Structure 1
Amino acid sequence: MNRPLLSMRTTLVFLLAALAGAAVGALTTFAGEGTPRGALAALAAAGLSVRFFDRLIAAEPGAGGPRRSAGSGAGEGAGHG
């Protein structure tokens, strides 16, 4: 098995999401909200950050994923207003 478990892009997305979650959790805890609220804020921020960083970082060349361009949505084009 010579291939990596996760691609470099996926690893970077998860790493940035973990760092964002840790920063939000630490700031929430230091603000006096307590450890449980800090942990919940960290988990929420990490979860939302995965989607943000996934869209922010460009896809790998040749990866024909489910991404579509801005004009390829349903309901757009000739005859649809």
Structure 2
Amino acid sequence: MNSSNQPLLSLRTALILLLGVLTGVGAGVLTVAAGGVLAAELLTNGAAFAGAVIFFHTIID
């Protein structure tokens, strides 16, 4: 077992993933609120998450 206290993820990585998850959840909620079905919500969730992670990875330095 490693006794060093290094974090599993860097702060930048955690922030980018958090913003991606929040974007995906927001897109999914809006999809369901507009009358979409669960399958469409999940696909929208995944696409919004991927796009947001790429976007925030590009702009956060």
TM normalised by structure 2 equals 0.90
Q: Say which structure, 1 or 2, has more relative contact order (CA 8 Å, 6+ apart).
A: 2
| Structure with the higher helix share, 1 or 2 | 2
Which amino acid is 2:11 matched to?
M
* Identity among equivalent pairs (%): 41
Aligned to 1:23: 26
Give the TM-score taking structure 1 as reference length.
0.69
Give the structure with higher Rg (CA). 1
Gaps of 5+ in 2: none
Name segments (4+ residues, structure 1) moved above 3 Å: none
Aligned partner (choices 1, 4, 9) of residue 6 of structure 1: 9
CA RMSD of aligned residues (A): 0.7
Matched residues, number: 58
